Amino acid sequence: MSARMRPYWTSRLAESRKPRFPSLRGHVDVEVAIVGGGLFGCTTAYVLAAAGVRVALIEAKRIGQQATAAAPGVIVPEPAVPLVTLDAMHGRRAARAAWEMSRRAALDFAALLRRLGVRAELEPVEIANYLSAREEGRELEREGRLRREMGIEGQWLTAARASAQLRTESSGAIRVKAGATFDPYRASLGLVRAAKSHRAKIFEGSPVVAIKQGGGRARDAMPLQISTARGLVTASKVIVTTGGPTRLFRPITRRFTPLVTYRVVTEPLSAALRHHLPASPFVLREATCPGHLLRWTRDHRLLFAGVERLRLPERSRPAALVQHSAQLMYELSLLYPDLSGIRADYAWDARISASDDGLPRIGPHRHYPRHLFALGAGRADDGSALLAASILLRHVTGTAEKQDALWGFGR
Ligand SMILES: Cc1cc2nc3c(=O)[nH]c(=O)nc-3n(C[C@H](O)[C@H](O)[C@H](O)COP(=O)(O)OP(=O)(O)OC[C@H]3O[C@@H](n4cnc5c(N)ncnc54)[C@H](O)[C@@H]3O)c2cc1C
C-alpha cells in the first residue's frame, strides 16, 4: 500500500490557501477566552460572537488542523451512545431529551453551514447503523423496538433487508435520515471567518501555558489571566475546547481516555466498482463500540475509519500508522470483497479523547470557577460541535436549561 501518510482534508488545500492568523502578543481583554481552535472552539467562537459576546480564540498550532482535520466529517443526528444505554443510564425522560438535543443540533449545524455559505462540501445522507454478519443482531433489534416505542426515528432492517440495501453481509441495521457529510477542516475555517466578521479575535501558534485566577477576597471580581509565551488574555470566563483535558487540567484527566484511531481514503473508484457498493447518500456506521465508519467523498473515494487503540508514544506513531492503515484496507475488503486490491491514497491517525461514559462533557466543573469545558467528543460526531456551542452560550449568558446538565460533569 503506497498511501500518502497524511489526512485527506488538509492535503487538498494548497499551503498558500490555508489562512494564517496572528500569534498572540501583548495584552487583549475580552469577556470570554476560548482555548483550542478545533471544530468545537471555532463553532463556539462563532456562536458567542454572533450573540454579541466579546471573544478571543487562542489556538496552540493551526486552526482546525488537529483532531478536526483528522475527523471523518460526518454529522450524525443522534448521540454516540445507543438509546437503550442512555435509557438504562439516565431514565426515559433524560434519554429522550438527550436524543432531541442531539438531533436538533445536527440539523441546525448543517443549516448554519449553509446559511453562512461555508464551502465545506456539505451533503445530506442517510446513516445506516449496521452490524456485520459476525455480530448478534438481537441488541440492535431491541434498540429498534425502543425507538419505535418512544417514537424516535430509526427504521429497523432485518438481516436480509440490511444485507440487500447495504450490499454486504449484515445481521441487521437501523436507518436514520437527516445526517450529513462535510469537510470538517473547511468547516472550521468557515466558522472562524464568520466569528471574525463578528469581531472575534483569532490567534494561532499560541499555546496557552497557564490560566490563573486573581488572588485575595475580590478573586471573583478579578479577570482570569490566560497566558501564552508572549501574550496575555484577560477575561471573565474561559472556555476550554482542547479535545482532551491536556496538562492544563491534570486533575480531570481520569475522566477521559487518550486514544488513537485510524482513517484511510481510497483512490477514486470507477463507476463499475461503485455499482457494487451502497449508493452515495449512505454513511455506514457500525453499531458496535468501537466500530467502523464508511462514507463517500465528493470525488468518489471511500473514507473508512476504525481501529481504536490507547495512545502510543510519538516514536511508535509512524510504524503504527503503516500497520493499522493496512489493517483497515483489509477490513474494508472483508466488508466489500470487490474492493480487494484497491489502493489507499491517504492514511492518517486521529489523536482523540473519549469521555468515561461515551458522551462529551460540556459545561462547568466545580473545581474550576468561571471555566467551561467541552471535552472528549466521546465517540461523538462532528455535529456535536454546535450542541456544545449552544450549551456553552447558555452557561455564559446565565440561561442554562435543566437538560444542559445531562451533558455536564455532574451527570
Ligand atoms: C463518528 C465519529 C466518531 C468520532 N469519535 C471521536 C472520539 O471518540 N473522540 C473524539 O475526541 N473525537 C471523535 N470524533 C471527532 C470529533 O468530532 C473531533 O474530535 C472534532 O471534530 C474536533 O474536536 P475538537 O475541536 O474538540 O478537537 P481539536 O480539533 O483537536 O481541537 C482542539 C485544539 O486545541 C488546541 N490546543 C490544545 N492544547 C492547547 C493549549 N494549551 N493552548 C491552545 N490550544 C490548545 C489543539 O492544538 C487543537 O487544535 C469523531 C467523529 C466522528 C464523525
What is the chain's length? 411
Q: In angstroms, rounded to a whole number, what is the distance separating the alpha carbons of residues 195 and 328?
A: 37
According to the model, what pLDDT value does residue 381 have? 75
* Backbone φ, ψ for residue 266 (5° rounding): -75, 170
CA of 144 to the centre of ligand 1 (A): 30
More reliable by pLDDT, 122 or 382: 122
- pLDDT(93) > 90: yes
56: enclosing H helix or E strand: strand 55-58
Q: In angstroms, rounded to a whole number, what is the distance separating the alpha carbons of residues 391 and 395?
A: 6
Atom of ligand 1 nearest to the CA of 36: 34
Q: What is the DSSP letter of 334?
A: H
According to the model, what pLDDT value does residue 218 have? 66
SS3 282: strand
Q: What is the DSSP letter of 62?
A: S
Cell of 197: 466578521
DSSP β-bridge partners for residue 35: 58, 240
What mean pLDDT comes out for the span 285-300?
93
pLDDT band at 221 (very low <50, low <70, confident <90, very high): confident
According to the model, what pLDDT value does residue 1 have? 46
Q: Which of 381, 382, 375 is nearest to 354 (CA)?
A: 375
**Percentage of the chain surpassing pLDDT 90?**
85
Q: Whose CA is nearest to atom 17 of ligand 1?
A: 382
Q: Whose CA is nearest to atom 15 of ligand 1?
A: 71
* Per-residue pLDDT tens over the stretch 225-260: 999 999 999 999 999 999 999 999 999 999 899 999
According to the model, what pLDDT value does residue 286 have? 94
State how far the alpha carbon of 231 is from the alpha carbons of 46, 182, 209, in Å. 22, 35, 10
369: enclosing H helix or E strand: strand 368-375
H helices of 277-396, where?
Answer: 317-335, 384-396
* Per-residue pLDDT tens over the stretch 5-31: 889 999 999 999 999 999 999 999 999
What mean pLDDT comes out for the span 47-73?
97
Q: In angstroms, rounded to a whole number, what is the distance separating the alpha carbons of residues 124 and 128?
A: 13
Cell of 262: 485510524
What mean pLDDT comes out for the span 163-192?
96
Q: In angstroms, rounded to a whole number, what is the distance separating the alpha carbons of residues 61 and 36?
A: 9
- Give the domain ranges of the chain: 8-71+185-255+358-407, 123-180+256-355
pLDDT band at 383 (very low <50, low <70, confident <90, very high): confident
Q: Whose CA is nearest to atom 30 of ligand 1?
A: 67
- pLDDT(324) > 60: yes
Atom of ligand 1 nearest to the CA of 352: 11
CA of 186 to the centre of ligand 1 (A): 15
Cell of 117: 455559505
CA of 265 to the centre of ligand 1 (A): 20
SS3 232: strand
Best probe residue, ligand 1, of 24, 375, 381, 387 (max atoms within 8 Å of C-beta): 381
Atom of ligand 1 nearest to the CA of 58: 43
Asked if the domains 8-71+185-255+358-407 and 123-180+256-355 are classified in one and the same CATH topology, the answer is no
Pocket of ligand 1 (CB under 6 A): 35-41, 58-61, 66-68, 71-72, 74, 184, 207-208, 241-243, 246, 248, 293, 352-354, 376-382
- pLDDT(182) > 70: yes
Q: Which CATH superfamily, name and number, covers 8-71+185-255+358-407? A: FAD/NAD(P)-binding domain (3.50.50.60)
Q: What is the pTM of this model?
A: 0.96
CA of 402 to the centre of ligand 1 (A): 26
Q: Whose CA is nearest to atom 4 of ligand 1?
A: 379
According to the model, what pLDDT value does residue 411 have? 83
Q: Whose CA is nearest to atom 52 of ligand 1?
A: 381
According to the model, what pLDDT value does residue 3 have? 60
Contact 238, 33 (CB under 8 A): yes
Query: Which of 55-59, 212-216, 385-389 has the weakest average pLDDT?
Result: 212-216
* Per-residue pLDDT tens over the stretch 205-215: 999 999 998 76
Atom of ligand 1 nearest to the CA of 74: 53
According to the model, what pLDDT value does residue 378 have? 62
Beta carbons within 8 Å of 358's beta carbon, 6+ residues apart: 80, 81, 85, 289, 378, 379
* Per-residue pLDDT tens over the stretch 135-162: 888 889 999 999 999 999 998 999 999 9
Q: What is the CATH number of domain 123-180+256-355?
A: 3.30.9.10
Pairing label, strands 256-266, 224-227:
unpaired
